[in-house]
Structure 1
């Protein structure tokens, strides 16, 4: 059923325990993905909106071998208690990689930072940050700085829009 899907928008789904059987609505095209959420390996563009995103779900996304464009908007990442406060973070663990990712777009005002390991993706060409906090902007710019200074990579673009 999903073999030919190359672009998928996910909106309003809570990915707490993955895999699950959510209803996905994309302009009335997709209604239910049977049994287990399993993304097609050939998917190239993915837009995630208004979701609670867990580490397990992100690990699943990292495993998509052809994913070139990832847009994450108005999502809430899992929160972790740090001392007396909670921080919303996106963490990349060892073994997680976006092999083909070229474009990353973030629009998550509660996100604390862009993981520094995002800069290790050799295919990444652009990080677009919009309506995010100052710490997200700073971390994206730091990734660009590290790429320039340590790896002589002047090709990574970081675009900021308030």
Structure 2
């Protein structure tokens, strides 16, 4: 999707303000991708170092990642609908905001769980970094739809 947006941006077929909004949107999606990669590195580190992470912590992380994946699907649907169905784009953007609030709650719960656990320092550092990546990706997703809503407002929607 980012490639299609980049092509659209480079053709010059959109006004400069919308172009800048799309550029910011693409950068935010790249932030999500980078945080996803960083999170995957943390999982790999946990495996390679045999960090003693309790199973219930992995389950919490898995549930949070599932919510993040749902948020990303809403983001994709929102940007796809910007030109064809602006009202649908706005509904999808609102769904992202709701999803981000869910992830915020899960983030707090996970942090509380790991800080109150008996994990060793290595596991604690790796897992807290992983949870931080997930939360930051969710925040970047919310930033994406904020940009989409700015684009819609500029169109008078």
Q: What range describes the TM-score normalised by the shorter chain of this pair?
A: under 0.3
Higher RCO, Cα 8 Å, sep 6+: 2
Q: Higher helix proportion, which one?
A: 2
> In terms of Rg, which structure is larger?
2
Q: Choose between structure 1 and 2: higher strand proportion.
A: 1
Q: TM-score, normalised by structure 1?
A: 0.24
> TM-score of the superposition, structure 2-length normalised?
0.24
